[in-house]
Amino acid sequence: MPLARDYAGLLDNRSFGGSLVSRTFYARGQTGQQLLLGAYSALNKQIALSNIHSHVRSEMQSLVLVNGHAKGIITRNLVTGKIDRHAADVIVLATGGYSTVFYLSTNAVNCNVSAAFNAYKNGALFANPCYTQIHPTCIPVAGDFQSKLTLMSESLRNDGRVWVPNKQNDARKPQDIDEQERDYYLERKYPSFGNLSPRDIASRSAKEACDAGKGVGASKLGVYLDFKDAINRYGKNVIENRYGNLFHMYYKITHENPYETPMRIFPAPHYTMGGLWVNYELMSNVPGLFVLGEANFSDHGANRLGASALMQGLADGYFVLPYTISPYLNTIQPGSTSITMKEFDVEEEKVKDKINNLLNIKGKEPAESFHKQLGLLMWNACGMARTKSKLLDALKKIPEIRDEFWHSARIPGTHDTYNPYLERANRIADYLEFAELMCHDALNRSESCGGHFREESQTSEGEALRRDDEFCYVASWEYKGNNQKPLLHKEPLIFENVALTQRSYK
């Protein structure tokens, strides 16, 4: 992929949120996109060479275990509706995160938790599900019609300055607000890091500013990201070379010119640090089930700094799994699993029963409306800031929404053809269960740590207050059945070479 180069032709780097040094390699404002294009190009090359057989428009429905080992999956063809069986010596899940539990997120609409959640329901432990990253640099929501939010690259905070008006409900244009009437709150609160403060801090600070009545835009759920000073310092051409593609995208969406008026941004669900539990070899507690990237919990702990998701995807795929999957394969008899085994019969029947139950609801309410209800509830109770009372309320309301879904959802069409309504409802049904797991984990962790901020656990200055004496562990949850509270397993975190200390970015 075409990484940026400096004047001497060496790999260039720059700062990112949470770091005061330039340590991040990049490709303009589209590093993640370039990585995706590189990965897909490599994949397509192997498909063309017949080294990989690609099953496009197929979705995993269930994991098949044979003698306790992962030996296959059940899938549904999203075009024809056909249920297929796939047997294997080993299963690798690299199915991404679960930010769309909030309904609105920066993820593509079709991103979902179903593959990982079905593995969890078949015995895999789910670790730290409450750890979700709220990205501070997204275009604010424009209305109820939206199905997703747009991420603006974190790189923008290298040169953009974040501010809100000092006065509440200030309806003036940003150009009409003098410098002395502006609150550059990140620079004020965190003078050492300023606009490069970590994402969780920057997101909560934006929420606090808007909660105080200083939000901007029609919804008042936004803050300004201003490039005026950077343009004056470096010139428009330099800023255009650095961020021109992002400025163009922002203009196409908002019809506002960032060169002339500040961008409006607001936090949005983005990355998920929780995921299926894996060991150092990336294998889950289910033998033969390996989990990569955002689908596992392994690299980020409670927080994720800018660009480290790129590290996780690259490290897991290039540098870990190729060397750890072979030892497992050496312990099994290859080709010993057949799709005719009774275990495949059992899982396929479960899949068909679920699909038939969805189609037999015959309600009148669009399934999508239940996802919206759930997303708003999760955003308010398990989003940027959590409280015991809100989490308990969510744990009471989620089963009510789920029950209403199974009685009133309208899912037209049939199972044996292309049916996007069934496809979405199938995933929503999983989210209506998974959301409870997230809230159980958030309620259990009565401390503040990284992306998990409990309002009852903060310093006198409003910063996250960790409780390492009680919560220095990975919370891994075991499925115990429908409508049953999951079982918590604690994996202690042991630090031998560093001492745990309270974070400070001031």
200 burial via Cβ count (<10 Å: 0-12, 13-18, 19+) = buried
Contact (CB, 8 A) for 118 and 62? yes
The rounded distance, in Å, linking the Cα atoms of 290 and 259 is 46
The rounded distance, in Å, linking the Cα atoms of 171 and 480 is 53
In SS3 terms, 376-444 reads as HHHHHHHCCCECHHHHHHHHHHHHHHHHHHHHHEECCCCCCCCCHHHHHHHHHHHHHHHHHHHHHHHHH
303 burial via Cβ count (<10 Å: 0-12, 13-18, 19+) = buried
424 is catalytic: no
Which run of H or of E encompasses 271?
strand 263-272
Amino acid at residue number 392: L
Residue of 137, 401, 405, 378 lying closest to 262 (CA atoms):
137
Instruction: Give the list of residues 6+ apart from residue 250 with CB closer than 8 angstroms, or none.
Output: 139, 152, 256, 258, 263
Query: Of residues 199, 204, 242, 402, which has the active-site annotation?
Result: 199
Contact (CB, 8 A) for 268 and 149? yes
Catalytic sites, residue numbers: 199
